Chain A
Amino acid sequence: DAMVIQNPRYQVTQFGKPVTLSCSQTLNHNVMYWYQQKSSQAPKLLFHYYDKDFNNEADTPDNFQSRRPNTSFCFLDIRSPGLGDAAMYLCATSRWQEETQYFGPGTRLLVL
C-alpha cells in the first residue's frame, strides 16, 4: 500500500545532542511537509518542500533544519534539542496544488 513512513516512532535524545528524524513516502508526491505537534495542541507547520524547493515558515527556529535528497525521503534535523522541542513530529505529503495531505504516524521525541 502507498504510504508515508516515519522512523523511528519514538526517539529519545539528550539536551543539546543533535537528532535526525526521517520520513519516506511511496505516494510519489512532490510536496512534503514537517509539522510539530505538542501535547494537546494543533499541528504547527515547520517547513515544506515542493520538489527540492525548500520553504521555511517565518517562526520556525533556526535550530530546525531539513533535507530532501530525493522525492521519496525527507529528514528533519534538530541541531541542539532543548526541553521545549519535545513533541510529536509529523511528516505529510501532497500532490502540488492539491489540498489533501497524507500524514505519517509521527515520531515522538523526548528530550532528557
Chain B
Amino acid sequence: SQQGEEDPQALSIQEGENATMNCSYKTSINNLQWYRQNSGRGLVHLILIRSNEREKHSGRLRVTLDTSKKSSSLLITASRAADTASYFCATDLDSSYKLIFGSGTRLLVRP
C-alpha cells in the first residue's frame, strides 16, 4: 500500500529558482526521509527528519514536518541543472524500519 502522496507530480523550473515539493502521509510515523533518484538509477538518501522535529537543513535542502497535518515539504534552494531527478518521500511503517515510498515528484531544472 502507498503511504505517501506527493505534490506536484512534476515540476519544471529555471536554474537558480527554488523548488518546493510536498508529501502527505496517512498514519503516524517515527520519521520521514527524502530520497533522490536520477533517471534509471538507484535512490540516494538526502535527509531524515524525526517526528519530534519541525525543520531540518542540509546544504541547499530544507525539510519541514507537520505531524498534525501529516505532511512534509522539501525545499531545494538555488536549483541547478544537476538537481534534475525524481524526489521521493518515505516513511517507516509501524516502527518496522521498512520504508513506504510516496508517489514521487519529477523535477526538471532548465539551464
Co-complex (A, B): yes
Question: What residues make up the interface of A, taking CB atoms closer than 8 Å to B?
Answer: 4, 6, 31, 33, 40-45, 48, 88, 90, 92, 94, 96-106, 108
A–B complex contacts, Cβ < 8 Å, 27 sampled: A4-B42, A31-B97, A33-B98, A40-B104, A40-B106, A41-B103, A41-B104, A42-B2, A42-B104, A43-B88, A44-B101, A45-B100, A88-B40, A92-B43, A97-B97, A98-B97, A99-B33, A99-B92, A100-B33, A101-B45, A101-B99, A103-B42, A103-B44, A105-B42, A106-B40, A106-B42, A108-B40
Partner of A43, one of B41, B92, B97, B101: B101
In the complex the two chains form, is B97's CB within 8 Å of A90's CB? no
Number of A-B residue pairs having CB atoms within 8 Å of each other in the complex: 56
On chain B, the number of residues with a Cβ less than 8 Å from chain A's Cβ atoms is: 24
Residue of A with least CB distance to B48: A99
Cβ-closest 6 pairs across A and B: A103-B42, A42-B101, A103-B43, A105-B42, A100-B45, A106-B42
* Majority SS at the chain B contact face: strand
Assembled-state Cα–Cα distance A106/B38 (Å): 11
Partner of B42, one of A41, A96, A98, A104: A104
In the complex the two chains form, is B48's CB within 8 Å of A90's CB? no
Inter-chain contacts of B103 with A (CB < 8 A): 41-42
Given A41-B103, A42-B101: 6 more A-B contacts, CB < 8 Å: A40-B106, A42-B2, A42-B88, A42-B103, A90-B43, A105-B42
Residue of B with least CB distance to A31: B97
In the complex the two chains form, is B101's CB within 8 Å of A90's CB? no
Q: Does B31 have its Cβ within 8 Å of any Cβ on chain A?
A: yes
Residue of B with least CB distance to A59: B1
Inter-chain contacts of A99 with B (CB < 8 A): 30-31, 33, 48, 92, 97
Inter-chain contacts of A4 with B (CB < 8 A): 42
Inter-chain contacts of B92 with A (CB < 8 A): 99
Inter-chain contacts of A43 with B (CB < 8 A): 43, 88, 101
